[in-house]
Homo-oligomer: A and B are copies of this chain.
């Protein structure tokens, strides 16, 4: 676990001590530019924090809360953005137009309640903040200045303990501010694991995952954190909202399912009972090469509809396979793996490979997890997956537009949606950047369809790259919605996806959600602008 004294970079991913040296950056930039065919080999430097000018804070916490509040430039800059490409570029360039006025880091739920009471009493908006890994503007303090006196960001990072472990029921009560590595570290002494690894895993917190319905490690069955949550506790302005900790209930609408995906608009999630499991002792995985993306998808469909339930089942198109080192660009590559703590899983992998063979899938020899990760295609891909957010900081310094977007659709509509979204996005890349790369992977699969995830890499024009990206994103998102698919499979809505989300969600549901919010948050202080506008 990262000791609390490590300092997060004020503009990008990870910690300040992880930032490579200038020489190392230059070397990496040259290497990447060669692979991409674009990108400046002389990386730009981030504007140091001391050269950034932040607007003066409009709010000042009372003495009793001063211990848990931080008005420093670093804290305010660090909490001004999430982790999207737009966020990194703005932070990199030293643009901090809307930082929170105060960052509070309560040390206990009671202190959190006092901060919330003070903030609302002061007419402030309140932004719940977990790991700051939102890529959709979910934590950005853009609020109506006529309506709110300022913004208090409540960072849950100090509520980071595993409070209780029920080894018999394989559940744990965990505070919402625990990051992925921190909660895994604490579970390890019980030989248990949550095993939920979104790409943001190293920074993301349990509360943030729940608030945004994060999708993680499991390509099937346990994909969204929703399935791992047994009960949730949240603090709302109207009091504590805590559901019964039971494996299941049929008592009315699920209170937990109303908090899952609420994105901080209904309350601040403070803890949850989650389902954990022993660490896997059996694993079998391999990479399967298909002639193309569509035949690979057909193989995946057969696997998931047959009920096999692989843990890993991700398909990279040829371009994505090349970029991540999982292939040479001549074929689509399926990362396929099963794991279990109780039983050998080789027979299940063999059945899955039979499904693939019928669609032209040719597999590498089956690997056990003991084999050194980096030696294999699966290992190279996994390493690349975890490093991607770090890499993005370098790409920004190289002037490269680097961002992703995602959705899900039925198997029936998959091929046409893949084509229409890819074409619209490529056309936009060509129009605004001249050249660029668009690749796609299937990240998670369901019996009724796949989740699709596109990566955009293109040379940006210094100072104009945000407008360029906005144009690409608009084309992509319009095509997603036109294809009848949701604006996000696991990146959430935040502020950035609002224009498309507003078109896809049913009106009576929006009215119901708006009313529900007003009932528990009468002043509309909680994360205004996210998901819904106040009544």
Q: Mark A238-279, 1 if CB is under 8 A from B, else 0.
A: 111111111111111111011011110011000000010100
Given A251-B504, A260-B254, A508-B236: A486 in contact with B224 (beta carbons within 8 A): no
Across the two chains, which residue of chain B brings its CB closest to A449? B247
Q: Mark A300-328, 1 if CB is under 8 A from B, else 0.
A: 01000111110000000000000000000
In the bound complex, do residue B246 and residue A485 qualify as a contact, i.e. CB atoms below 8 Å apart? yes
CA distance A257 to B512 in the complex (A): 13
CA distance A275 to B449 in the complex (A): 11
Residue numbers in B under 8 Å from A254 (CB-CB): 257, 260-261
A166 touches B (CB below 8 Å):
yes
Among the 9-residue stretches A20-28, A55-63, A388-396, A407-415, the one with 4 or more Cβ atoms under 8 Å from chain B is A407-415
Across the two chains, which residue of chain B brings its CB closest to A492? B250
Residue numbers in B under 8 Å from A221 (CB-CB): 221
In the bound complex, do residue A410 and residue B166 qualify as a contact, i.e. CB atoms below 8 Å apart? yes
Across the two chains, which residue of chain B brings its CB closest to A520? B508
Tally chain A residues at the interface, Cβ within 8 Å: 96
Given A258-B258, A267-B508: A307 in contact with B250 (beta carbons within 8 A): no
Residue numbers in B under 8 Å from A408 (CB-CB): 246-249
Contact of A213 among B250, B267, B444, B448 (CB under 8 A): B250
Q: Mark A209-253, 1 if CB is under 8 A from B, else 0.
A: 000111100000101100000100000101111111111111111
In the bound complex, do residue B169 and residue A250 qualify as a contact, i.e. CB atoms below 8 Å apart? no
CA distance A253 to B493 in the complex (A): 10
CA distance A213 to B255 in the complex (A): 14
In the bound complex, do residue B169 and residue A246 qualify as a contact, i.e. CB atoms below 8 Å apart? no
Min CB–CB distance A211 → chain B (angstroms):
10
A196 touches B (CB below 8 Å):
no
Q: Mark A327-363, 1 if CB is under 8 A from B, else 0.
A: 0000000000000111100010001000000000000
Contact of A241 among B215, B252, B301, B508 (CB under 8 A): B508
Chain A: residues with CB nearer than 8 A to chain B?
Answer: 166, 168-171, 212-215, 221, 223-224, 230, 236, 238-255, 257-258, 260-263, 266-267, 275, 277, 301, 305-309, 340-343, 347, 351, 407-412, 444, 446-451, 484-493, 497, 501, 504-509, 511-520, 531
19 contacts between A and B (CB under 8 A): A170-B411, A170-B448, A236-B508, A240-B506, A241-B508, A244-B484, A246-B485, A246-B486, A247-B409, A247-B410, A247-B447, A251-B261, A251-B486, A251-B504, A252-B263, A257-B260, A258-B512, A305-B342, A307-B342
